[in-house]
Amino acid sequence: MGKILGAGGGVTIPGQDIYAVDTVQRQRLGTRVVRGDCVYKYAKCVGTAITKTSMIAHTLWYQHFEGGLTTSTVAGVNTLTITLGGTHGELGDGEIAVHELEGGRILLTDGTWSENVTMGIRDNTAGSSGDVITITVDGEIPVARTAAHVVAIMGNMYRVTGIRGSGGNKPHIGVPMRICALGSYLWLQTWGPCWVAPGTEVGEAADNRNVYIKGDGGLTDNASPELQYAGYVLTSSSTGTQGTPFVYLMCSR
């Protein structure tokens, strides 16, 4: 039985098993479940549908916002306001939906980049380009900030999208447990023994057992600076051929 860590000794997973997909949100995005050596995180499919469970899914890597505060913010409050521009939002279209930033991170600078504060985002109101939206953070803002100080926002990293070809350096986060339509909720395996589509070079009886994530979410053992580390090969054929190897995935603990 799966357990959610940090919940009074553990509780069973309510609403949606890790092998299920749903159109209704049953958990907070990023909720962590452990089964043996395997870690799973709750996610939402955004951007494009997820059509393969053999590839590691990636986050929508666009930064939601960079700019100044709408008004100065005193210390001790847990809300702030920003004015949306035409390129802000998850898709760079000036749109941010209600709750879209929940579970994301916000950077508050001090003008000299000396005492910067990074906080978690609890919630947000909705808006379009030109609108002022309110963001609620996960604690009291410790130091006053003026409207001139730079603010940067990233959304929840467990808003994931389908595979977009082989190009691009994307932050990959976990293996989808199910294929699903846009807007659906699912679980990702982010850590532990699993299977991911390997390149022909992966799993051979060779010296290099480390694997890296290609742009399409598959695996290669050819390290290059732009590729994200995925983990290491656990199995290969006794004859020295590929043998559809299992790997120990190390994306998000």
Q: Which residues, in sequence order, are bridge partners of residue 89?
A: 95
CA angle 104, 74, 81 (to 5 degrees): 45
Reading the block at residue 120, the tokens are 């978690």
The predicted-structure confidence for 90-113, as pLDDT tens digits, reads as follows 889 999 999 999 999 999 998 888
User: What DSSP letter does each residue of 28-54 carry, written as one string?
Assistant: -TT-EEEETTEEEEEEEE-SS-B--SS
With beta carbons less than 8 A apart as the criterion, state whether 86 and 163 touch: no
- The whole-model pTM stands at 0.88
- Give CATH 2.40.30 domain extents, the chain: 65-154
- 100 Rama sector, left if φ>0, alpha if ψ -120 to 50, beta otherwise: alpha
Q: What is the pLDDT of residue 153?
A: 97
* Separation of alpha carbons 176 and 187, rounded Å: 6
Residue 42 reports pLDDT greater than 90: yes
For the chain, give the longest Cα–Cα distance: 67
CA angle 41, 47, 53 (to 5 degrees): 50
* Separation of alpha carbons 237 and 249, rounded Å: 19
Task: Tell me which architecture the domain covering 65-154 has in CATH.
Answer: Beta Barrel (2.40)
* Separation of alpha carbons 88 and 94, rounded Å: 5
The predicted-structure confidence for 72-81, as pLDDT tens digits, reads as follows 999 999 999 9
With beta carbons less than 8 A apart as the criterion, state whether 38 and 246 touch: no
The predicted-structure confidence for 144-186, as pLDDT tens digits, reads as follows 999 989 999 999 999 999 876 655 678 999 999 999 999 999 9
